[in-house]
Amino acid sequence: MKIIEENSVEINAFKKRIASALPVSLSEGQLEKLYRFMESLKAVNEHINLTRITDDNAFVEKHLLDSLACPLTPADQRIIDVGTGGGFPGIPLAIAYPQKQFVLVDATAKKVKAVEKIAADLGLANIELTAARAEALGKNPAYRERFDAACSRAVAAYGILSELCLPLVRTGGTFYAWKGEKYREEIDAAIDGVETLGGGEIRVSQNLLLKNTAFHVIIQCIKNGRTPAQYPRNYGQIKKKPLC
């Protein structure tokens, strides 16, 4: 007899929900990998706190579809996910875009190790994980202005996040940030600082993949100039006095 737990979603229903929400089509193999990622993360989460969302339907909406809403362009080939935590948005994006290269960064080594093992078990060859602080990578020539795009969800207020992410993006590249209802206030408070860091045009698009379960926008900031050498500052300074 088949037993379906109330808070779990059966694989075919899972595939149907994801496939019907996305504007691009994913292969059966990609949908299966997304499902296996969800199952692995929930299993690891019993020992290491990687997510508070364990209900499958909420996981699909708030983690997978929220991550997959990122409007990556063909120019975004090398992408860094800053503060990836349990692998969001980096892992779902790496599954959906196997031709693009992803570097997932988090300051907590324990989380990075756990996500690295999950990614290896899934056979994801286009992901590299790094345990580091983003502001340290922003000073490191191997990472500074080396990415076509940076993406980051649920890490810090937009002003702080801009100083962590924009130094990693090349001129002409894009910084994608997921934000909630107060996004406009966050942008307004940070706008001059964003310009100082080399940020140019800002576009905001609502994540329409979420079925009224949450409100998120993705803020896209196109970098139109180099980041001055004095940025990023150390985290204490960034937090105490965000650029504005």
Q: Per rule CB under 6 A, is residue 159 in the interface with ligand SAM? A: no
Smallest gap from Cβ 89 to ligand SAM, in A, equals 7
Q: Per rule CB under 6 A, is residue 111 in the interface with ligand SAM? A: yes
- Is 59 annotated in some ligand binding site? no
The only residue of 15, 17, 153, 216 in contact with ligand SAM, by rule CB under 6 A: 153
Q: Which stretch binds ligand SAM (CB under 6 A): 39-47, 107-115, 194-202, 218-226?
A: 107-115
Q: Which stretch binds ligand SAM (CB under 6 A): 34-42, 85-93, 142-150, 184-192?
A: 85-93
DSSP the chain: -----TT---HHHHHHHHHHH-SSPPPHHHHHHHHHHHHHHHHHTTTS---S--SHHHIIIIIIIHHHT----TT--EEEEET-TTTTTHHHHHHH-TTSEEEEEES-HHHHHHHHHHHHHTT-TTEEEEES-HHHHTTSTTTTT-EEEEEEESSS-HHHHHHHHGGGEEEEEEEEEEE-TTHHHHHHHHHHHHHHTTEEEEEEEE-TTS-SS---EEEEEEE-SPPPTT-S--HHHHHHS---
Smallest gap from Cβ 78 to ligand SAM, in A, equals 18
The residue among 31 and 164 lying less far from ligand SAM, judged by its C-beta, is 164
Q: Per rule CB under 6 A, is residue 42 in the interface with ligand SAM? A: no
Give the residue carrying structure tokens 């093992």: 117
Q: Per rule CB under 6 A, is residue 134 in the interface with ligand SAM? A: yes
The residue among 26 and 157 lying less far from ligand SAM, judged by its C-beta, is 157
Tell me the β-bridge partners of 81. Answer: 104, 151
- Is 108 annotated in some ligand binding site? yes
- Is 153 annotated in some ligand binding site? yes
Q: Per rule CB under 6 A, is residue 179 in the interface with ligand SAM? A: no
Smallest gap from Cβ 81 to ligand SAM, in A, equals 7
C-alpha 40, offset from chain centre: 18
Q: Per rule CB under 6 A, is residue 85 in the interface with ligand SAM? A: yes
Tell me the number of residues near ligand SAM by CB under 6 A. 19
Rounded Cα–Cα distance for residues 73 and 61 (Å): 22
**Binding-site sequence positions:** 83, 88, 106-108, 134-135, 153
Residues in binding site for S-adenosyl-L-methionine: 83, 88, 106-108, 134-135, 153
